[in-house]
A and B are shown apart, each in its own frame.
Chain A
Amino acid sequence: MRVLVVDPDSARAALVAEGLSGVEPLEVRHAALYDPAEAAAFVPDVVVVAAESPDRDTIDSLREGSLTNPRPVVMFVDRSEAGLAEEAVRAGVAAYVVNGLAPERVRNVLEVAMTRFQLMHQLRKDLDKARADLLSRKTIERAKALLMKERGLEEEAAYRLLRKLSMDTGRPLGAVAADLLAFAGVLKGDPS
């Protein structure tokens, strides 16, 4: 397990290391400030950041970046911020750990955060795929309608023609349908 702890104070990195002792292999790296190059080279499984770290916005934004690999993020919150920790645990991929937590619970919290993250990540991927599927179905419907209109085909025949094109070219049905619509647009003189 590779853990990056971003915290001006080094004490919590020690706490994390202690809580994870027994996990093999384990590498806990402490950084006072977040350095993207260092993080990219280290490839952490989980990032632990102090809630009071000025680098929170940077790390927060990585979850949205499509270029960088998203990582689960765990937050350390000071005990004095009553309510923040408990409430914020609900907040998506970020889990909050209250300062002063017993080391033996650290492992549990990090594992829960990583599992949650995987789950959320999978859900998001499924959602994106569902959206893409829907889009491709709509494209196929439109291509079919175009063939019916331009070639005077029945619906069934139009679909068979599309499928034949797909098999002949070895490309997905959605892609063939999209090409057909694009070409039709060009022939009709649509700007493209």
Chain B
Amino acid sequence: MKRSLTLGYVPLVDAAGLIAAQSQGFFADEGLEVTLSREASWATIRDKVAVGALDGAHVLAPMVIAQTLGVGSDATPMIAPVTLACDASAITLSRRLGLDDARPAAALAERVAARRTMDASPLTFSSVFPYSTHNYLLRLWLSEAGVDPDRDVRLTIAPPPRMPELLASGIIEGFCAGEPWNSVAVAAGSGVLAARACDIAPGAPDKVLGLTEAWSRRHPETLAALIRAVVRGLRWTADPDHHDQLAEVLSQPHCLGVPRAMVAGGLAIARFDEGRPTHDQAAWLLDQMRRWGQVQGPGPDAEAVYRPDLFDQAWAKA
């Protein structure tokens, strides 16, 4: 049985389950020796998992589907045996826009319409990756307000830690990203929270544990042990009594490097107790990928990518 693993993560509050599994010794309890490797971008994580430089990683929920289909990268069959977080992101708008805080979506739509009649350049919004729940949430929120995300605004991609600075310097007018970056922008005074993920599409999966299908076939016992340890990490994380302790770990410079209060805010909002991945989650993601033109033709079977069966088997083997 393979015991030594390297798992990648991007510094975000919703990586807490993996970080807790490490700091609370749940990996060690399963006989696993895990190294957590902080990665600078989703593209790097995707490539490293595909070529085996990482055994698995904290990845964006739609990434495993995109990678399996080969959209945006070479096709690599992937699996998601654990959902790491739901409802962990939010949309923040620039305070400079001066919109009515009580009805940000409608106020934004009016502004966009006004700018169009003046022939002003479209407002710019960022999400974190083309294949991210954040991209879909931002698009849904804009469309529901009557703003066409492809025609009325400019959508770009930026790394989450840079969002507050891009907002403050006026390069973007809004973003959808995970915590703590919304809290950081709001605390800095440059951002106003406009909507939370749970207001737009409650229960939409944010991050999953992603591994290649080939890896999971080669190391079934290791996979079962990994699932058990990660789920213990998630359950520990979901308990509000542990949030102070966890915020302390996450706020360290080598992890997120932001004040504890901002981490704690994010921990309180995200849902970590949905560890079992469901085919409904995969179907919702695939719907979004189709709606926004990322996928044409038949998609992969949800059964092939989101794997509640492996999640359930992990307990049978324990």
When distances are taken between beta carbons in the complex, the residues of chain B under 8 Å from A52 are 40, 44
Q: Determine if A91 and B156 form an interchain contact, defined as CB atoms under 8 angstroms apart.
A: no
Q: How many residues of A contact B (CB 8 A)?
A: 23
Of B43, B157, B159, most buried by chain A (CB within 10 Å of CB) is B43
Number of chain B residues close to chain A: CB under 8 A:
24
Over the window 114-132 of chain B, the binary record of Cβ atoms lying under 8 Å from chain A Cβ atoms (1 yes, 0 no) is: 0000000000000011100
Q: What is the predominant secondary structure among interface residues of chain A facing chain B?
A: loop
Once the chains bind, are A57 and B128 in contact (CB under 8 Å)? yes
A54 contacts the other chain (Cβ, under 8 Å)?
Answer: yes
Specify which chain B residues have a CB less than 8 angstroms from the CB of A82 in the assembled complex.
53
Task: Report the separation of the CA atoms of residues A57 and B156 in the bound assembly, to the nearest whole angstrom.
Answer: 10
List A contacts of B74 (CB < 8 A). Answer: 90-92
Q: How far is the CA of A54 from the CA of B157 in the complex (A)?
A: 11
Q: Does A87 sit within 8 A of B, measured CB to CB?
A: yes
Using CB atoms, name the residue of chain B closest to A35.
B171
Note all chain A residues with C-beta closer than 8 A to B189.
none
B44 A58 Cβ-Cβ under 8 A? no
> Counting CB contacts under 8 A, is A81 at the interface?
yes
Nearest A residue to B41 via CB reads A56
> When chains A and B are docked, how far (Å) is the Cα of A182 from the Cα of B214?
49
Contact with A along B69-100 (1 / 0, CB 8 A): 00011100000000000000000000000000
- A54-B51 in contact given A61-B129, A91-B73, A91-B74 (Cβ < 8 Å): no
Residues of B within 8 A of A61 (CB): 129-130, 156-157
A22 at the interface (CB under 8 A from B): no
Task: Give Cα A57–Cα B42 distance, bound, in whole angstroms.
Answer: 6
A51 touches B53 (CB 8 A): no
Please tell me if B3 contacts chain A, counting CB pairs below 8 Å. no
Can you sample 22 A-B contacts with CB below 8 Å? A33-B162, A53-B40, A54-B159, A54-B162, A56-B41, A57-B42, A57-B128, A58-B156, A58-B159, A61-B129, A61-B156, A64-B72, A81-B53, A83-B51, A83-B53, A84-B48, A84-B53, A87-B50, A91-B50, A91-B74, A92-B73, A92-B74
Interface residues of B (CB under 8 A from A): 40-44, 47-48, 50-53, 72-74, 128-130, 154, 156-159, 161-162
A sample of 5 more A-B contacts (CB under 8 A), given A51-B47, A56-B44, A87-B50, is A56-B41, A57-B129, A61-B157, A81-B48, A83-B51
